[in-house]
Every structure is written in structure tokens, then in C-alpha cells.
Amino acid sequence: MILVVGGAGYIGSHLVKDLVKKEEVIVLDNLSTGHIEAIDKDALFVQGDLGDPKVLDSIFMHYPIQAVMHFGANSLIGESVINPQKYYLNNVSSTLTLLEAMLKHQVKNFIFSSTAATYGIPKVRLIDESIDTHPINPYGKSKLIIEQILEDYAKAYDFHYVVLRYFNAAGAYETAEIGESHHPETHLIPLVLHHLAGEKDKISIFGADYNTPDGTCIRDYIHVSDLADAHILALEVLMNKSVKTATYNVGNGIGYSVREIVQMCEAITGRTAKVEITERRTGDPACLVASSEKIYKDLGWRAKRNLEQLIESAWTWHLNQKY
């Protein structure tokens, strides 16, 4: 049985929907940003906090958990700059409590949702896992601290992990049953689609004076279902013990600027966006694009869905959004 912490959230719920086809799944989520409607009906659900040792003890005592997938976190770069304490308490302190419970109950396999924000401002165009990590915001730092703790735990204890550093997750499940729904929404692609659906009067571009071809930030947008596939492969190699510790980027290897994203959303919806250029948002690097060669070489994972498919799925979800 697999424990998915944060399985009611955007990325976690997509993983759960695929994982229940292969494994028994239990979701632990406090529903702070997640949605109960997003949890697949074949998964068990415990509403509780990952920083609560009593809830964790009860789960690990009652269910034969073989691995933990940990999506539960706060994950907004801008908010982390304004309120770092929230990030260190939830992303670091509560994760330590989860790890403590795993060690206590001898649960040895851990998959951790990390981020491209651990790299900071990379000097190279294509980021691989060997480059230095110098996060420039508390969110990225909170994730890197856990990565470093995992390294130490794996050296000292019988403990195995895969860290997945996602780039920008977007898109929705192929059936449009679940998709991205954050309140408030801060992510670029859903915001552009909300605007094009007439629910928001304009889209703001945060800075057009970056050192990029059109002046706007470049990101690597990865389909949420491609991320789910990467988790399932990571779980397989941990369970069959062919990988004991590993850190992988998970991205497409293609960077799109904010303007290019707006244009692609316009092309897919057949509507025209009203765009305003505003100040830069604090904590945003100019360009983050992944090399995902390592995860391809080790696990055979590659992104299967392109940007057009990604935005189409997000648009279909938006038109049918249930929560």
C-alpha cells in the first residue's frame, strides 16, 4: 500500500488517479489547498496534517505502507518571499515529522516533490542535476533543505528515496475529471485561460525586461500526467531496489516565454487576450529549462505530451471545471 501525502492537491490527485490502477493507495491531506472531489474514489482518504505525529502513527500502524509519496507543501514563490515562516514550518518542519514517523515504523521508500526553484539563477541554458543549487526564494530553499536531509538519512539509515525536481506543472487529466484548481490561482496558464474565458479582465505579464529574446521569463511547462508517469516509474525502481537514492529533473527540455504561452492559449481558444506589462515579481529567475536526460537514461522516462496538448487539456478542464 502506498501513502500519498498531499494527494488531494493538483499534482498528487493526478498521480493517485493513475496509481490506484496498480496499487492500494491511501491519501493523507489537510485540504488546505486540495480538494476532496479530486481524490479518486478507489483511494482511502484520511483528512489530517502531515505534521501531526498521532495521525501518522495511526496510519503507519493500521496499514502496511511500503512507500510514501510526498506532495504536501506550500508552493508559491511570491508568497514564500512575503511569508517565509509558513514555508519553513510546513515544508521543512512538518516534513521532518513525516520522516520521523517513517523511520519509527520502518517505512523505507520515499518519493519527494522538489522543484526547479532549487537551482536559483542557473548560468547554463539547459539545467542538469549536476549544476550548483543556489535557490533565490524561501520556497526553493525549503525544498533544498529537505533534499539535503534526505541525503544524510540515506547514508545513516536503511532509507531510500527519489527526489523529483519538477519544472512548471500544467495541464489536466485526459478525461477532464480532474485538473488544476488553486484558490486563489496564481499560475500562468490557468490565469490566461480564465481571462480568455471571460472571468478576468486582463492578463498581467510580470516583467518584460528580462534578458530573454522577448524580455519575458522562460519556463519549461510539463504536463501533469507526464509527472504522474515519472512517479510511477520512480516507485517501481525503489520497490525493486534497482535505485536506492536519486535526484531527477522532470521537464520537457523546451522553454517557452510568458508571451509565447499567451499566444498559444490564444491560438487554442481562438480568442484574443488583453495583456498588460507590470513590474517583475520578486523571486522569479529569467529562465528555467530542464535537461531530463538523467531520468531518461535511468528510468526511460520522457515527456509524451507537448505544449499544445497541455494547453488543450487545461482548456477542456476549464470548460468542465467541477471544483
Ligand X SMILES: NC(=O)c1ccc[n+]([C@@H]2O[C@H](COP(=O)([O-])OP(=O)(O)OC[C@H]3O[C@@H](n4cnc5c(N)ncnc54)[C@H](O)[C@@H]3O)[C@@H](O)[C@H]2O)c1
Residues contributing to the site for ligand UPG (CB under 6 A)? 75-77, 115-117, 167-168, 186-188, 191, 204-206, 217, 219, 258, 281, 284, 288
Amino acid at 314: A
Residue 258 near which of ligand UPG, ligand X, none (CB within 5-8 Å, type-dependent): ligand UPG
Q: Which residue, chain included where needed, has cell 515579481?
A: 281
Task: Say whether residue 71 binds ligand X (CB under 6 A).
Answer: yes
Site string for ligand X, 46-65 (x = CB under 6 A): ---xxx--------------
Site string for ligand X, 225-254 (x = CB under 6 A): ------------------------------
221 is an active site residue: no
Q: In the complex, what is the shortest distance from the CB of residue 134 to ligand UPG, in angstroms, rounded to a whole number?
A: 15
Please pick, among 88, 139, 153, 173, the residue that the annotation labels catalytic. 139
Q: Which stretch binds ligand X (CB under 6 A): 102-110, 125-133, 161-169, 193-201?
A: 161-169
Pairing of strands 109-115, 25-29: unpaired
Amino acid at 74: N
Q: In the complex, what is the shortest distance from the CB of residue 90 to ligand X, in angstroms, rounded to a whole number?
A: 5
Looking at 2, 3, 8, 258, which residue binds ligand X (CB under 6 A)? 8
Task: Say whether residue 166 binds ligand X (CB under 6 A).
Answer: yes
Q: Catalytic positions, please?
A: 139
Using CB under 6 A, list all residues that contact ligand X: 6, 8-12, 28-34, 49-51, 71-73, 75, 90, 94, 113, 115, 166, 168-169, 182
